[in-house]
Each structure stands twice: as structure tokens, then as C-alpha cells.
Structure 1
Amino acid sequence: MSDKPAEEPSSTPEIPDDVWEQFARDTEREIRASAPKEPSARAREVTERLKQNESKAKGKGKKGKRQEPEGWRTGPAWQEMNGRARRRRRAWAVLGVPLAIAVVVVAMKPSLIPGDPFHKGGADSPDAAAASPLAPETAAPTAAPSAVDPETPTLDRPFAGSPALNWADGAAGIVLPQAKAVGAFSKDQVQVALKQAETFLVDANLDPKTIAGARPAAALAVLDPKQPNLLTRLNTSLSTPAKTHDPLQMFSRFDPKQVRLVGDVVKTRGRITFKAGEHSGVAIHADYTFVYPVVRTDGSVEVTRTIVRRVLDLELLDPAHYQVTTGRLSVDNYDAEFGNTACEVYDGYFHPDFPSAEPTGAAPTGPTTDPYDRSKAIGEGGEEKTCGTVSRT
């Protein structure tokens, strides 16, 4: 092989002088470090002694002693081995120059390589989708989320195969609008009311203790104790759940003896708005969907998801017109839809179905719906609410 590669017109981008200088210094250092060196006097002395010993051994071999193959101590002859080594290093040097140039160029501008091989998974991978969350929802969507490739959720990827994969994580999905004065209430008062609404949503639906069945004390604390029967009904639903007072209508709870949340992320999608209320107050409207990945507590690693959509209307009333607690919120309306939980079970907990387990609760009698579809109002169509099936989880 020739010591010089054939010269061809350069097809690589121009390299800065300082890069070339550094490359030349590194190359020279590498060549010097790997070049064959003249044996020392001590090495020559040892080699000569070995040759004499081998000559004696050959002489004894003629008298019937075991004769070793030539070069058994030193391997191939030094000159032959060094010759191969030099040729090998030279070949790598010829290939190494354009390779080193390419490495420098790619380091300066990775986009020159098609497909960006340094990006794991590609632009269409689930992880890439998760890294690019949707923009906050500012109005009701016009259709359900597009279908996604079916994937089995796992402990490592509990939102695999779900439209919620690129939804916001937890409270990050609750984006408050810019506060402004409304009626008798100043901008600061409206801001406080919005923060209270956020506190309610987070504690009622996202707090790990609430999800595990604890009492949502922070959520209850923002509600007006003077609103007739409200806190009484909610406390009763938490202490003695029943069909007529079901805590799931306001709070997301799972039986900690049966299931637990996978990881610490609940996906959130929705919006919160406010306007002047009909009762001389500030009316706050919240419409959110929460996606809970869960696993059984019996050691199973099978993951499923429960999807909950909530619509909540709160109002900050004017104490000058109503007997209310200053700074507390009243509840005008609340409604909810649940996806993937047992029908006709009223013990105060969601009971999600797992593909490998027998369904619990009564058989569904309602229609099949898409729990991710936020384009329709809850109960749209005037049909009586019944427990149905979901088209996806």
C-alpha cells in the first residue's frame, strides 16, 4: 500500500486554522508514541542470551531431548511483526485523516448528517413526542385527539399508546389566565380567587395523598363553609360513601389496598376561565381531564389507566350582597365522567379494569365513548348518564 493516499478534490467544509493545528499536534504525538523504537542495550543483551540458550537446546535435541518449535518464546520474527504493524498503522492513518475531519465537521454542525443519528429514537418516537408537550388549551377542541399507535403501558412508560403522552404533567397543566378586575373585585382579589380554584383542582385530583384515599383537606379549605349543606355533603361522601353521596364526583381516589399510582405523574389537559358572574361575583369555570396510570398492589406489573374528566363552576360572591365568607369560593355546579372504572360500585374509590383480570362491578349498559374526547360537553345529547365502555385507555 502506498504511503500517500491519492489526492482528490476536497469535499469537506473548510476547517478553522486552530482546529487543523490541534489535529496536526495530536497526529504527530500519536505517530511518535506508536512508532517502533530501537531496542536498548539491555534488551539486546537479553535477546543474545536467549539465542545462545536456544542453540544449546537445539544441540541437546539431537541427543533425544524434546525440541521446541522455532521462535516459541518470541513469537513471529521481530522484523516481520513490525512490518505488519507499520502497514496497519499506515492504513489507519490514511483512513483516519478524512475520518477526523468528518468528526470535527459534525461536531461543529451535526445537521450535516441526515437523520441526526445522535437523536435517540428519532423524531417520531414516543419519547420525542413526550419531550414536546402540547401548548396549553385555550378553547374547546373541535375533535377528539387523533388515534395513536397501540402500545402496552409499562412501569417505565405508563402513558405509552395514550393521547395523554404529550399532555402536561400534573399541576403544570393548570394554567391560570391573567387576572383583571371584575365588578366589585380588584385584580388582586381575582388573582387570589383563581389561585384558590387551582388549589382545589390540584388537591382534589393531583395530590398523591388524595389519590391514595386521604381526605382532601386543602381543597375543602377554599370552599365557603356558609354555603348551605355543601361541606356537610362532601364530608359525608368521604366518611360514608354511597350512590347518593359519592366523593368521586368531586375527588379522584383509589383504594390503596388494591391499586397504586405508577410513578408520580398524572397527565393533565384542560382550561380555566373567569368572567363576571350572574350573582355580582366572579364566575370561574374549569374543565379538565386527568389520566391516572395505576398498577395492582399484589406484585403485578400490569399497568392500566383511568381517565377522569371534571367540569367545575366556582364563584367568588360579593359579601356586600350575600352572606358569605370573605375570600372563600362557592360551588355553582360540578359534573364528571369516568373512563375505565367499575360500574355501580359506590365505595368512594375508582376500580379500574386490568386486561388480564376479570372485570369488577356491574356489566356496562351505556354506549362506548372516547374518554379523551374533550370536544363535547359532559352529557351532551340529553341522554341519561349511564355506565358504558371506553374505546381506549
Structure 2
Amino acid sequence: MSEKPSDDQPSASEIPDDVWEQFTRDTERDIRGSAPKEPSARARMVTERLRRQEERGELPPGWRTGPTSWQERNGRAGRRRKLWAVLGVPVAVAVAVVALKPSLLPGDPFGTDEPRAAASPLPVETAAPTAPPAASDPETPTLDEPFAGSPALRWADGEAGIVLPEAKAVGPVSKDRVEQALKLTKKLLVAANLDPETVRGERPEAALSVLDPKQPKLLDDLNTALRSPSAEHDPVTMFSRFDPVEIRPAGDVIKTRGRMTFERGSHAGVAVRADYTFVYPVMRADGSTEVTRTIVRRVLDVELADPARYRVTPGRLTVRTYDEEIGNSTCDVHDGYLHPEFPSSGDKSTDPTGPTTDPYDRSRSLDDGHACGTVTRT
């Protein structure tokens, strides 16, 4: 007998006949399926035979229970769980790391390995800066990124960093003469500081060809410095040179930044002032991949004099003054080359006696002296 339906349940009369019949059939089927079943004749025979074998001692102990004991089953499962626990910890950590940085997976299967955004280049320097460049992230330079952590990352590459000002006539000196003087000055800067042959220590013929051979003493001093370098005659005061036995470039880019100005000269010509800084990423020539940088700032005052009034060679520059400041090169070594120091070397060959300076600071004038100082960054 079924229970009387409650007031909020539908009565049997409210249930459609087909639904009620389906419910009745399902209920009867479930009752039949859950009712105890009488063993078949074959099952009874097997059971009786096993009972007799057990009475005669023909069956092994524990045949009714399967495995020897529950501890054995639990032990095997426990070992599997422990193994999974041990494996699961590093796997979980790896999954978490990959989730945070999918680019760690080889091949970047998720397409997240985006290249580092290129630093926006600085505009051309048209006036003296009023402060040194801001501090950069302390990154270690590498072969792939030799300017990492350097303000020079945003500087122009090589010759592109030497942008000539617009030529204009100065007094009686024509615009064309001014333009010629600017181009010759650029040629000198490029040949002395960017030409691959010069940088790897060869004789800077292209740079020497710009200088006036009639200028007293200059070419003689430079030739002496190149032939027999010494403290008094050192070619690095004019040319950026590295010993190829010791140093090789880290890539083919030298960063350049500076400016050029001009005015009427003292010898009826045009005087040009060039103030440029060059940053050289280098590595040892012994196969090491450690990268460091040497920074060279040069200030040149040259003049393209009037050959009609003065005994000068047409189309050649007269050097009035030249000065340099070198950051990260061993002091008191005058063999004609720059000698970068690497962080891994740990020791310094000469104790610094000069001031601490920022080699990237183009807002200050160069000191007259050349004492061995300390740079704040490379």
C-alpha cells in the first residue's frame, strides 16, 4: 500500500496514465533486480565440491579472502601513492612555473616568446646635455645584447650617430666651405674611431689622410706613436684601437652620440668642434663569451684654413686641439691599445688615483689631467 500523498504533492488522479504505468514498471523491475536470487544448479554443485575440498584440506589458506592480507594491498597502494606524491611535487612546481612563464618551454608552444621591445632611439643631440643619462637597469651585457644595461642602448649605431649640422656661410666663408669642413671632420671621426681596421689595431690610414701634412709636428708625433707607443706618444689619444691578440669586438655595432658645431676660424677658414662618445662592446680573444664595454669620449677642434692666404694643403684639416676621456681601460699601459677590464678578472692592475666619473655623462667638460680614476658604470 502506498503512502497517501501530501497536500503539496500531486495525487494519483492528477498523474497521466502513461507516466503512472512507466513508474509502476520501473519499480517492479528494480524490486526484482534487488531481490535475492537462488543459486543455479551448477553454482550449487561448484559450492558443494569446494566445501568438500576444504574439509579434506585440499585448498590453500586464504582462498576465500583473495590476497594474503589487507595490509599487503594497502601497502602496494600506499607505495604507489607515495611515489605519486614524490613525483607530484616537482611536476606541480613545473606546471606552476610554466603557467607563470610559458616561454620557458622549448619551442614556445603557446606562442608567448615575444622579442624584447626595442628601445626607442634618442633624438639627435643638438646642444650640450644638462645632466648625465638616467640610471639604467643593472643588466649584464651578452653577445646577443652587448648594450644591455647601458644608456648607449638608445644611441645611434656607428656613423649614423654623427649627424652634421646644416651648413651655413660664416662671414666671408661660403656655405660650401663650411659643408666641406663638416664632412672632413666626420671622415676623421669615422676613420679614427669606427673603421674596423682601426679598431682592430691596424694603422689608421684613412684618418691620417684627412690631416694636413704641412701642420708642424702633428703627423710626426702620430706616426711615432703608432710605430713606438709610449707614455709621451700614445696613439689612443687620437685613435680607438684594441690589441687583436687580446680583444675582439662583441658584434659589429659601436654606439655613437655627440654633436658638431662650427664658427669662423682664425685662419680665414671655418673652425669645427666635435664632441662625441663611442661605446665599444668587446670580449676576450681566447674564446670567452664574457662581454664588457669601453667608453671613449673625444673632443676635437679642427679648422679648414684658407689655402689662398695660408700655407696649408687644400682639402686637409688642421688640428688645433684634441682631448679624450677613456672609461674602462687599464691605466698606465702605453702600448698603443685600449685594455678593457672584465668583471670576472676581479683585480685591478693599477690603483685609481683620479676622480670617480660617469663615462656616459656628456654634460661636463673634460678635465685637463688624465689621472687614473674610477668609472661608475660601463
TM-score by length of 1: 0.66
2:272 paired with 1:284: yes
Contact conserved, 1:345 with 1:361, CA < 8 A, in 2? no
- Tell me how many residue pairs correspond in the alignment: 268
For 1:338 and 1:154, locate their aligned partners in 2 and report how far apart those are by CA, in whole Å: 21
The code of the aligned residue for 1:377 comes to: S
1:225 pairs, out of 205, 213, 237, with 213
Q: How does 1:210-359 map to 2 (within 5 A)?
A: 210-359=198-347
The residue identity in structure 2 corresponding to 1:241 is P
**Per-residue Cα deviation, 1:62-117 (whole angstroms, up to 9, x for no partner):** xxxxxxxxxxxxxxxxxxxxxxxxxxxxxxxxxxxxxxxxxxxxxxxxxxxxxxx9
Q: Which amino acid is 1:307 matched to? A: I
1:389 aligned residue: 374
Counterpart-to-counterpart distance in 2, 1:170 and 1:212: 15
1-side partners of 2:113 and 2:118: how far apart?
A: 9
Unpaired runs of 5+ in structure 2? 1-110
| Other-structure match for 1:72 | none
1:235-262 Cα distance to aligned partner (Å, 9 max, x none): 1111111010111110000000001011
- Aligned residue in 2 for 1:25: none
Are residues 119 and 355 of structure 1, via their aligned partners in 2, closer, same or farther at CA, if it must alter by over 3 Å? closer
Q: Does 1:149 align with 2:134?
A: no
Please tell me the residue identity of whatever aligns with 1:318. D
Deviation of 1:133 after TM superposition, in Å, equals 0.7
The secondary structure found in structure 1 opposite 2:297 is strand
Task: Give the partner amino acid of 1:388.
Answer: G
Structure 2 CA distance, aligned partners of 1:118 and 1:344? 50
Q: Which residue of structure 2 lines up, in the alignment, with residue 128 of structure 1?
A: 118
Runs of 4+ in 1 over 3 A off after TM superposition: 117-121, 358-361
TM-score (norm: length of structure 2): 0.68
After superposition, the CA RMSD in angstroms is 1.6
2:351 to 347, 355, 363: 363
Q: Tell me the distance in 2 between the aligned counterparts of 1:190 and 1:306.
A: 33
CA–CA distance in 2 between the matches of 1:212 and 1:362? Answer: 24
Q: Tell me the CA shift for residue 182 of structure 1.
A: 2.8
Alpha-carbon distance in structure 1 between the residues aligned to 2:142 and 2:237: 28
Give the corresponding residue for 2:99: none
Counterpart residue type for residue 257 of structure 2:
R
After the TM superposition, which residues 146-225 of structure 1 pair with which residues of structure 2 at under 5 Å, given as runs?
A: 146-225=134-213
CA contact (8 A) 1:368 1:391 kept: yes
Other structure's SS at 1:128 match: coil
Q: Distance in 2 between matches of 1:182 and 1:233?
A: 32
Distance 2:195 2:245 in 1: 18
Unaligned runs of 5+ in 1: 1-116
Q: CA deviation at 1:363?
A: 1.7
The residue that corresponds to 1:114 in the other structure is none
Distance 1:360 1:199 in 2: 36
CA distance in 2, matches of 1:359, 1:255: 20
Other structure's SS at 2:165 match? coil
Q: Which structure: larger Rg?
A: 2
Question: Using the alignment, how far apart are the partners of 1:176 and 1:204 within structure 2?
Answer: 17
Separation in structure 1 between the aligned mates of residue 112 and residue 342 of structure 2, nearest angstrom: 37
Aligned twin of 2:93: none
What's the CA shift for 1:321?
A: 2.6
Q: Deviations over 1:168-207 (max 9, x none)?
A: 0000000011112234432222212211111100010001
**Is the Cα contact below 8 Å between 1:344 and 1:361 reproduced in 2?**
no
* SS of alignment partner, residue 272 of structure 1: strand
Q: Identity, % of aligned pairs?
A: 66
CA distance in 1, matches of 2:157, 2:255: 5
Question: Which amino acid in structure 2 is aligned with residue 348 of structure 1?
Answer: G
- Letter of the structure 2 residue corresponding to residue 169 of structure 1: D
* Residues in 1 aligned to 2:283 and 2:184: alpha-carbon distance in whole angstroms: 31
